[in-house]
Amino acid sequence: MTDASAASAAAPPAVRKSSLHQLDARTKKRNASEARFKAYGLGAVLIGVAFLVALLYAIISNGTPAFTQTFVTVEVPLEPEAVEAAEASFVKTSAYREIIYTALAERLAEAGIETDMGPEELGQILSSSEAGQMREFVLANPDRVGGTVEFRFFASSRVDGYSKGRVTRESLARDNNLSAAHLDLVDRMEAAGIVERSFNWDFIFGADASDSRPEQAGIGVAMLGSLFMMFVVLFLALPIGVAASIYLEEFAPRNRWTDLIEVNISNLAAVPSIVFGILGLAAFIQFGGLPQSAPLVGGLVLTLMTLPTIIISTRASLQSVPPSIRAAALGVGASKMQSVFHHVLPLAMPGILTGTIIGLAQALGETAPLLLIGMVGYIATNYPDGVASGFLDPNSAMPAQIYEWAKRADPAFYERAWGGIIILLLFLMTMNIVAILLRRRFERRW
Amino acid sequence: MDDLRLTERSVDQKEIKISASNVQVYYGETHAIRDVSVEIEDKTVTAFIGPSGCGKSTFLRCINRMNDTIDTARVSGDILIDGEDIYDKRVDPVQLRAKVGMVFQKPNPFPKSIYDNVAYGPRIHGLARNKADLDDIVERALRRGAIWNEVKDRLTAPGTGLSGGQQQRLCIARAVATEPEVLLMDEPCSALDPIATGQVEELIDELRESYSVVIVTHSMQQAARVSQKTAFFHLGNMVEFGETGKIFTNPEDSRTESYISGRIG
Ligand SMILES: Nc1ncnc2c1ncn2[C@@H]1O[C@H](COP(=O)(O)OP(=O)(O)OP(=O)(O)O)[C@@H](O)[C@H]1O
Ligand SMILES: [Mg+2]
């Protein structure tokens, strides 16, 4: 008050008049730098979008062919004597194969397609999985023996590649699996409706296949393995992570020990994932005696890896709850725990869920630690007959399966690797959308 | 300050509700409360006045042990409520806070519905036997908080969607809903218009019938209107404590006099 009276006693400063219709130099400079900053920002966003578009284009153009497959439809007579003879022989599939080849040759003759190829040579159009497929059918349906059954066999990967434009007559010149003459035949078979390309559910739900029959390989078993691991991660990392964060953030005293723990958690988040793989190998498999290649071990390793992410994001969202809410709860006589569980946690929930799902998505896409604990099991038989049926049975995981395929020589596997990436990305996108939806749902409660 | 409407009140001898002696509060190295001793009577409104930063809120928070939640805060000295030391090892601060309600300086409603804001305390303390009971408690509390008429049609609307003044009255309703024996109010009217202020002051006067109310205020007029006892704080010391009428008309300490007449602060 004394200050105010002193100021009013002094002579009033000269007032400098300026027009509002004219920008002064400072304002111009400020506006220019703001415009520049906006341009940088927009540029950065555009570069990011351009990379994203290029990436998506590459993935989609390379990966979509993996979802369709070329099939050969053949009616095969299941004569009882032939089937019996085949079952009695030493290499049963080769006997079945002969039946199929003969049936294929007959089918061609029926369609009026003339060829001077013998059955053996003709058979190269088919995938070598054909005999197994037929035998499985016969064993499963013994009552159909005696009749004629229409089979849809996979075409061999070269024929499939031809229909997808990957294989040409020129490229077959150096290939002894198939010849240009086969392709002429395939063209005519396609016209006759014997060969056709259609959507292949086996790629999504099937099991992996050997190097020589990429057309049969599917990602289904690896998907199951990833699913098992995600269960382990979710049911371990979420409760442990959230409980640890709540304790550290709300209950723990601030002292040297908690500081140390805090620093270590931040450090853990930055540890390369392959280190967690070695740790898992040493701790769970060698010391703990758990089996190799098991989703349980994979899940444990990924839990270790995801925990810091979940703890850090949970603590951040707990910290963002205003302290006045805690004071309000304590002020009406709520206990610490009531204040946390009734007021703080619901407010922090969107952040916790987002952090958890992002952690899970990270874990789902993680490959390196899985290679070290052998989560790259080669499983060619599908659930439920296969071994990939539980938390302790050998299995693979989606990213590990993609890596496996990308490693193999046949370009048909390369295509499947891209297809696998599409499926993996679909999973990740779904998880992120779920995260956003959950966030919205919880945030509607202000 | 001749516009102070000092009302003549019968100040008979009452029981001591809160008795503080030699209270010291440190925030780390900062000595925020220096050797404060005060006796607060039951069924009385006691006002804490003083310049900003002199420790009024800090001392208020000692009475319901909210300072426990501040890591750096250290409290020493004795505070007795009904003759029991509230800093005794056997005292659970949670139980204490159910008995000593608090309205904070900044309105802090829960981000829940208006109804749930008020019902929360009674719920966790099991004060309502059934839903109708709880409805009654909520309505009574909202009426006492002088906000019932404004919110009775939107009890399910979020408490955070109210205006600042309405939020503060909601917080008052929330505090009285748990039926505390002592009500601590930290500048409850700083965000209120004169009408709502009048209503809150009426409420305080009404609460005096059964509770002991401690109110921090920056408004000398308010202190004079609602309180029977006034304590003047300055730089962490309690400079003067006595009958409100006496503090405002005939203070003993020169600092009190200069503050009241607007020369320091
Ligand atoms: N949490 C805290 N940590 C450290 N110092 C604090 C804390 N709270 C208050 N103080 C300090 O203690 C002193 C008293 O603060 P207090 O909030 O009690 O003042 P006040 O009288 O309520 O002021 P106002 O009228 O502005 O609300 C101040 O110097 C303040 O800086
Ligand atoms: Mg204050």
Domain residue limits, chain A: 71-199, 220-442
Residue A152 near residue A193, CB atoms below 8 Å? no
> What was the pLDDT predicted at B8?
44
Report residue A419's pLDDT band, with 50, 70 and 90 as the boundaries: very high
Instruction: Tell me which CATH code domain A220-442 carries.
Output: 1.10.3720.10
Comparing A24-28, A174-178, B101-105, B239-243, which segment has the lowest mean pLDDT? A174-178
Instruction: Find the mean pLDDT for residues A432-439.
Output: 86
Report residue A329's pLDDT band, with 50, 70 and 90 as the boundaries: very high
Residue B111 near residue A446, CB atoms below 8 Å? yes
How far is it, in rounded angstroms, from Cα B73 to Cα B66? 10
Going by CA atoms, what residue is nearest to atom 8 of ligand 1?
B58
Written as six digits, the tokens of B58 are 């800090």
How far is it, in rounded angstroms, from Cα A293 to Cα A296? 9
- A32 to chain B nearest CA, in Å? 39
Percent of chain A with pLDDT over 90: 41
Closest listed residue to residue A334, CA positions, set B211, B178, B176: B178
How far is it, in rounded angstroms, from Cα A221 to Cα A389? 9
Contacts 24+ apart (CB under 8 A), A269-275: A269/A308, A269/A309, A269/A312, A272/A368, A273/A305, A273/A366, A273/A368, A273/A369, A274/A368, A274/A369, A274/A372
| Cα(B61) to centroid(ligand 2), Å | 10
Sign of CA dihedral A288, A289, A291, A293: positive
Going by CA atoms, what residue is nearest to atom 31 of ligand 1?
B53
The crossing angle, in degrees rounded to 10, of helices A295-319 and A273-280 is 130
Q: Which residues of A touch B111 (CB under 8 A)?
A: 325, 347, 445-446
How much is the pTM?
0.81
Specify the higher pLDDT residue, A6 or A279.
A279
B85 forms beta bridges with B80
Q: Which residues of B touch A338 (CB under 8 A)?
A: 124
State the total domains in chain B. 1
What is the CA angle A343-A347-A351, rounded to 5? 145
Domain that holds residue B192: 15-260
Percent of chain A with pLDDT over 70: 94
The residue type at A326: R
Instruction: Find the mean pLDDT for residues A70-97.
Output: 87
SS3 A109: helix
Instruction: Using the predicted structure, report yes or no on whether residue B5 has a pLDDT greater than 60.
Output: no
Report residue A256's pLDDT band, with 50, 70 and 90 as the boundaries: very high
Instruction: Using the predicted structure, report yes or no on whether residue B10 has a pLDDT greater than 70.
Output: no
Contacts 24+ apart (CB under 8 A), B241-244: B241/B38, B243/B11, B244/B6, B244/B47
Going by CA atoms, what residue is nearest to atom 12 of ligand 1?
B32
Instruction: Using the predicted structure, report yes or no on whether residue A398 has a pLDDT greater than 80.
Output: yes
Residue B240 near residue B251, CB atoms below 8 Å? yes
- The answer to whether position B125 is within a domain reads yes
Question: Cα B226 from chain centroid?
Answer: 12
Of B98, B106, B108, the CB nearest to A333: B98
What number of C-beta contacts closer than 8 Å exist between A and B?
A: 71
Instruction: Find the mean pLDDT for residues A110-138.
Output: 85
Report the Cα–Cα distance between both ends of chain B, in Å, rounded. Answer: 15
Q: Is B98 on the interface with A (CB under 8 A)?
A: yes
Report residue A235's pLDDT band, with 50, 70 and 90 as the boundaries: very high
Closest listed residue to residue B222, CA positions, set B241, B242, B244: B244
pLDDT, tens digit, for every residue of A21-76?
888 889 899 999 999 999 999 999 999 999 999 999 999 999 999 999 999 999 99
Of A325, A330, A336, the CB nearest to B110: A325
Q: How many other C-beta atoms lie within 10 A of the C-beta of residue A285?
A: 19
Instruction: Using the predicted structure, report yes or no on whether residue A381 has a pLDDT greater than 90.
Output: no
How far is it, in rounded angstroms, from Cα B198 to Cα B222? 9
Strands, E, within A202-345: which ranges?
none
Instruction: Using the predicted structure, report yes or no on whether residue A291 has a pLDDT greater than 60.
Output: yes
Q: Which residues of A touch B173 (CB under 8 A)?
A: none
- The answer to whether position B41 is within a domain reads yes
Sign of CA dihedral A386, A391, A394, A400: positive
The residue type at A172: L
Report residue A10's pLDDT band, with 50, 70 and 90 as the boundaries: low
pLDDT, tens digit, for every residue of B63-101?
999 998 888 899 999 999 999 999 999 999 888 998 999
Residue A195 near residue A201, CB atoms below 8 Å? no
Instruction: Using the predicted structure, report yes or no on whether residue A201 has a pLDDT greater than 60.
Output: yes
DSSP for A303-352, written as a single string: HHHHHHHHHHHHHHHHHTS-HHHHHHHHHTT--HHHIIIIIIHHHHHHHH
> What was the pLDDT predicted at A50?
97
Instruction: Using the predicted structure, report yes or no on whether residue A406 has a pLDDT greater than 70.
Output: yes
Residues with CB under 5 Å of ion ligand 2 are B 57
Mean pLDDT for chain A overall: 87
**Radius of gyration (C-alpha) of chain B in whole angstroms:** 18
B239: CATH? 3.40.50.300
Q: Which residues of B touch A1 (CB under 8 A)?
A: 262-263
> What was the pLDDT predicted at A445?
55
Instruction: Find the mean pLDDT for residues A193-212.
Output: 88
- B95 to chain A nearest CA, in Å? 7
A198 forms beta bridges with A69
Q: Is B63 on the interface with A (CB under 8 A)?
A: no
> What was the pLDDT predicted at A386?
56
Q: Does B169 contact ligand 1 (Cβ within 6 A)?
A: no
Ligand 1 atom index nearest CA of B25: 12
Of A1, A328, A335, the CB nearest to B110: A328
> What was the pLDDT predicted at A310?
93
Instruction: Using the predicted structure, report yes or no on whether residue A446 has a pLDDT greater than 70.
Output: no
Phi-psi region of A193 (alpha: psi -120 to 50; beta: other; left: phi over 0): left
> What was the pLDDT predicted at A133?
87
Instruction: Find the mean pLDDT for residues A360-372.
Output: 90
Ligand 1 atom index nearest CA of B233: 21
Of A328, A338, A347, the CB nearest to B104: A328
Written as six digits, the tokens of A175 are 């290939």
Comparing A31-35, A126-130, B172-176, B237-241, which segment has the lowest mean pLDDT? A126-130
> What was the pLDDT predicted at B7?
45
Q: Does B60 contact ligand 1 (Cβ within 6 A)?
A: no
Instruction: Find the mean pLDDT for residues B168-188.
Output: 92
pLDDT, tens digit, for every residue of B31-57?
999 999 999 999 999 999 999 999 999
> What was the pLDDT predicted at A383?
53
Residue B62 near residue B33, CB atoms below 8 Å? yes
> What was the pLDDT predicted at A308?
92
> What was the pLDDT predicted at A9?
52
Q: Does B53 contact ligand 1 (Cβ within 6 A)?
A: yes
Specify the higher pLDDT residue, A372 or A10.
A372
> What was the pLDDT predicted at B2?
43
Instruction: Using the predicted structure, report yes or no on whether residue A442 has a pLDDT greater than 80.
Output: no
pLDDT, tens digit, for every residue of B196-206?
888 889 888 88
| Cα(B62) to centroid(ligand 2), Å | 13
> What was the pLDDT predicted at A395?
84
Identify from A332, A342, A444 which residue to disrupt to test chain B contact, counting B C-beta atoms within 10 A and taking the largest count.
A332
Q: Is B97 on the interface with A (CB under 8 A)?
A: yes
Ligand 1 atom index nearest CA of B58: 18
Instruction: Using the predicted structure, report yes or no on whether residue A4 has a pLDDT greater than 60.
Output: no
Which DSSP letter does residue A66 get?
A: G
Produce one character per residue of A232-260: b if its CB has 16 or more CB atoms within 10 Å, e if not.
Answer: bbbebbbeebbebbbebbbeeeeeeeeee
> What was the pLDDT predicted at A52?
96
How far is it, in rounded angstroms, from Cα A421 to Cα A404? 12
- The answer to whether position B1 is within a domain reads no
Q: How many other C-beta atoms lie within 10 A of the C-beta of residue A168?
A: 12
> What was the pLDDT predicted at A441?
81
> What was the pLDDT predicted at A46?
98
pLDDT, tens digit, for every residue of B145-166?
888 999 999 999 999 889 888 8
ipTM: 0.87
Written as six digits, the tokens of A226 are 């990833």
Going by CA atoms, what residue is nearest to atom 11 of ligand 1?
B32
Percent of chain B with pLDDT over 90: 62
Report residue A113's pLDDT band, with 50, 70 and 90 as the boundaries: confident
Of A331, A342, A347, the CB nearest to B66: A331
B39 forms beta bridges with B19
> What was the pLDDT predicted at B9?
46
